[in-house]
Amino acid sequence: MDPRRLPHHVAVIMDGNGRWARDRGRPRIFGHRAGIESVRDVVKACSQIGVEYLTLYTFSRENWKRPKAEVSALMKMLRNLLKNEIKELDRNDVRVMAIGRVDDLPDSVRKELSRAIDKTRDNKGLTLILALSYGGRGEIADAASRAAKGVLDGELAPEEINEDTFGRFLYAPDVPDPDLLIRTSGELRVSNFLLWQIAYSEIWVTDVLWPDFTRNELFEAIADFQKRERRFGGVE
């Protein structure tokens, strides 16, 4: 792995918690709890090697369709994780952000999330972006709605809307697009994640289930990324 050619932004679809638990004869929530250790390891690794942005697909809008007990347990885990990890994140100069329809989250989760964002706002190290109640199509629809409002308010002319101006209406317009998208569990789909932003992302898929994913797999993904030639539609 060449430290001079690191991806600026790594995005991760963390998949396989349920299968990991099922393979061990345990309930799905057991796998979600185990996956927290992988989150810690990957966040620390990205911070230590100098990755600038890490976006984790933490909870999708589609995840609200899961059994009520599982969703409730996930929200409790998220609240506790934010509450318990914030000091460590702040100590390591990590800045916390969130994208998605966060107003959908329970009040207790939004409270801890706001606290984490406020406490780490001025940190200069890794920016950790949590995709919460997030969907790529929803983000594009929300951006289109905001752009339309700008037109109605006279702040933007229809002919001024292009890829650059539209991008300003996304959830995190100042964050660069992911250079590397990692998907665990071997599934070959992007699952409605960052649909606008991953247009030219390099994709790396591993059969490893998320609770078994460590910094070793992360480094393997980055090393593979560094072997690729990124032409963005051009020629060498």
Catalytic residues: 15, 63
207-to-19, 26, 182, 193, 210 alpha-carbon distances in Å = 12, 20, 11, 19, 9
8 Å CB contact between 109 and 117? no
Phi first, then psi, for residue 114 (nearest 5°) are -60, -40
Q: What is the CA 120 to chain-centroid distance, rounded?
A: 17
Q: Is 169 helix (H, G, I), strand (E, B) or coil?
A: coil
Which tokens sit at 229? 């030639």
Q: Are strands 53-60 and 202-205 parallel, antiparallel or unpaired?
A: unpaired
Question: Which has the closest alpha carbon to 100: 147, 135, 137, 74?
Answer: 135
**DSSP assignment, residue 198?**
T
